[in-house]
Copies of this chain bind each other. A is one copy, B any other.
Amino acid sequence: MRQKIALAVHGGAGTIVKSTMTAALEEAYKSALKEALQKGHAILKDGGSALDAVEIAVRVLEDCPLYNAGKGAVFTADGRNELDASIMNGKDLSAGAIAEVTNIKNPVSAARAVMEKSGHIFLVGRGAEEFARLYGLETAEPDYFFTEERWMALQRVRDEDPTKTELDHGSGKSTLKKLKEEKFGTVGAVALDVRGNMAAATSTGGMTNKKWGRVGDSSIIGAGTYANDLCAISCTGWGEYFIRLCIAKSVADLMEYKGYTLAKATHEMILKKLPELGGDGGLIAVDKAGNIAMPFSTEGMYRGFVKSNGKVVVDIYRK
């Protein structure tokens, strides 16, 4: 019997309410998820690696202006797009990540280049951009990342948020309250290939109006992304909470050290430990048997999956 294959993608979790969505927009969101799943599935079906599948799937979502990663990334407080991404190969625990880059068209591919060519795992800022340039990653002008919708979102946050122009010391809490209401846009993919290997990748533009070179969980191995020989995980949500709980690695550890199933381990982290601490969000995960879990504690999560039979399933809201 042929070994199972599986692929799941997400496009962010958050306050996604059907009443504020048009049918056309919903279709556009779903269409990008489908394309990501189809391209990744084509690779897996042909015997390609989980690593190649998650990279291509995330690239599709990075290229789609609707999602907060690559083109369509949200704006920082000073009106720029700063991109974070990571990728991990469960086969050998190799990993790569970049943060705070502003001119790389597909951050996930830069993360993969870091993994394969830098001798390091995590490169940030101008240094990461220099690395990407030296290794021939495709760059993009700041204009490329601009979308009217994200720019207006920044103006809206600035208008609504009294902390927008100055830093009143100790304003952390009120800022966080606002941020919590924002949609968490991040994209990610997890895959299982015919050889039984798994991989995960995550890419994001972070939070609208983020300040001071803030880096969330998406580029942190163990927090937003993890893959080993038991499972592969990509997270989306309020990044600070995912970092504090090391959500992705904790799922793997619950399986390895406590014998939990993928469903139970992901439920424990996203629907118990995360809300208990005050955070929210979701994740996608796959295990060696091809099981997929996609729990989220928010109102919605752009998500989808495809397994060996090739049937693509995508969804947005809570069931």
Contacts and interface: CB of A to CB of B under 8 A. Distances in A.
Interface string A183-205: 00000000000000000000000
A124 interface: yes
Contacts of A29: none
Contacts of A258: 257-258
Contact of A172 (B118, B175, B213): B118
User: Chain B CB within 10 Å — which of A119, A175, A246 has the most?
Assistant: A119
A253 interface: yes
A138 to B, nearest CB: 16
A216 to B, nearest CB: 8
Interface string A107-150: 00000000011111111111110110011000000000000000
User: Chain B CB within 10 Å — which of A122, A130, A172, A240 has the most?
Assistant: A122
User: Chain B CB within 10 Å — which of A116, A213, A246 has the most?
Assistant: A213
A244 interface: yes
Nearest to A174: B119
Given A221-B246, A249-B246, A172 B117 contact: yes
A213 B126 contact: yes
Contacts of A210: 120
A215 B124 contact: yes
A42 interface: no
Interface of A: 93-95, 99-100, 116-128, 130-131, 134-135, 167, 169-173, 175-176, 179, 210-216, 220-223, 226, 239-240, 243-246, 249-250, 253-254, 257-258, 277
Given A118-B211, A130-B213, 11 more contacts: A93-B244, A99-B124, A118-B212, A119-B175, A119-B179, A122-B214, A122-B215, A124-B124, A125-B125, A221-B243, A250-B253
18 contacts: A93-B277, A94-B244, A100-B124, A117-B169, A119-B240, A122-B243, A123-B215, A124-B125, A124-B215, A126-B213, A127-B212, A134-B169, A135-B169, A222-B222, A222-B246, A226-B246, A253-B253, A254-B257
